[in-house]
Amino acid sequence: DLSEKGVGEAKGAGTLIKEEGLKFDVCYTSVLKRAIKTLNYALEESDQLYVPVVKSWRLNERMYGGLTGLDKKETVKKHGADQVQIWRRSFDVPPPPIEKDSEYYPGKEAKYADLKDEDIPVTECLKDTIARVMPFWEAEIAPALKAGKTVFVAAHGNSIRAILKYIEDIPDDTITGLEVPTGTPLVYGLTADLKPIPSDLAVAPLKFGRYLGDAEKIKAAAEAVKNQTKVDGPEDAAKRRRVEA
């Protein structure tokens, strides 16, 4: 669910959208609560709650398999800091799959009732997430853009990475290090054949997309996301305890 901070970020994104004068024809989001709420808060703040919304599991966050439900300390204790970091940041190495008898197995949820069993992800690396997201881009988002519509995609760090990799043609070894700051609108201009238009305001490694908002706040938000994925080993934790003491 969205934290209090997340609600504030979503409302702030809506304010930036309104100030930019962006008007949407259709919105896309995942079937996960935090993305849906983020979209709703942003639309409310920008006076666009009337815009139609399409929800799809294909825009969900990456499925972390057997790591789902574990906090960082539990995960590191069980698998080791180095291995966990590989799973989190590798392009093509997925974590162990989630067991179907796990309380976190998505197949137990009503929102996935219409999916075939083989379509329900049990683990994913970023490469897998991209393979899941792109059919939705091709079938839903791209046709809307080609029809001249202005679209709003409210999703998650890794499903957004999938779209950015395609639009910007970002290499595999670069996309894994791209931080997607939460609650920060990223705007693209596209030609009629969906080629991205370069922006002088793009921040590397991006060349075409521009973030809305204060540059320092955007940088801090990206750094915060980066820190969320840092994994401490026993020595790091001991050092931190000494510093905190």
Average pLDDT (144-167) is 98
- pLDDT per position as a tens digit, 122-138: 999 999 999 999 999 99
pTM of the entire predicted model: 0.89
Which residue ranges make up each domain of the chain? 4-244
Asked whether the beta carbons of 66 and 38 are under 8 A apart, the reply is no
> Taking the domain 4-244, which CATH number applies?
3.40.50.1240
pLDDT of residue 73: 82
Q: Which comes out higher in pLDDT, residue 243 or 236?
A: 236
- pLDDT per position as a tens digit, 81-106: 899 889 988 999 999 999 999 999 99
Per the annotation, where are the binding residues for substrate? 34, 61-64, 72, 88-89, 157-158
Taking 90 as the threshold, does the pLDDT of residue 240 lie above it? no
β 210-211/186-187 pair status:
antiparallel
Query: How is residue 187 annotated by DSSP?
Result: E
Gyration radius of the chain's alpha carbons:
19
Per the annotation, where are the binding residues? 34, 61-64, 72, 88-89, 157-158
